[in-house]
Amino acid sequence: MKWTMAIRLFSVFLFISVMVPLMSFDENVEEPSLQMALLKYSGGGDWYANPTALKNLALFCNQTLGTNFSSQYGTVEVGSVELFNYPFVHMTGHGNVVFSDLEAENLRNYLIAGGFLHIDDNYGMDPYVRLAMKKVFPELEFLELPFDHEIYHSKYEFKNGLPKIHKHDDKLPQGFGLLWEGRVVCFYTYECDLGDGWEDEEVHKDPPEVRLKALRMGANIISYVFSQS
In tens, the pLDDT along 130-158 reads 999 999 999 999 999 999 999 999 999 99
pLDDT number for residue 23 = 39
Stretch 159-184: mean pLDDT = 94
Question: For 27-37, what is the mean pLDDT?
Answer: 76
pLDDT confidence of residue 145: 98
> Whole-angstrom distance between the N-terminal and C-terminal Cα of the chain?
22
Which of 225, 226, 219 is closest to 57 using CA atoms? 219
> What domains are there in the chain, each with its CATH number?
2-227 (3.40.50.12140)
> Is the CB of residue 85 less than 8 Å from the CB of residue 113?
no
Do residues 173 and 140 lie in contact, with contact meaning Cβ atoms separated by under 8 Å?
Answer: no
Q: HSE (CB half, 13 Å, CA atoms) of 24?
A: 0
Per-residue pLDDT, 53:
97
Neighbours of 210 (CB within 10 A): 16
- Let me know: does 124 contact 46? Beta carbons within 8 Å: no
Instruction: Tell how strand 89-93 and strand 174-180 pair up.
Output: unpaired
Residue 131 CA neighbour count, 13 Å, CB half: 11
What integer pLDDT is reported at residue 170 of this predicted model? 87
Q: What is the pLDDT of residue 30?
A: 52
Q: What percent of the chain has pLDDT over 70?
A: 86
pLDDT band at 3 (very low <50, low <70, confident <90, very high): very low
51: phi then psi, degrees, rounded to nearest 5:
-65, -20
Per-residue pLDDT for 19 more than 70?
Answer: no
| pLDDT for position 206 | 87
Does residue 66 carry a pLDDT above 80? yes
* pLDDT at position 71 over 70: yes
**Structure confidence at residue 228 as a pLDDT band (50, 70, 90):** confident
Asked if residue 197 lies in contact with residue 203, where contact means CB atoms within 8 angstroms, the answer is no
Who wins on pLDDT, 11 or 137? 137
Tell me the one-letter amino acid at 62. Answer: N
**pLDDT the model gives residue 9:** 54
CB of 106 within 8 A of CB of 79?
A: yes
Q: What is the overall mean pLDDT for the chain? A: 89
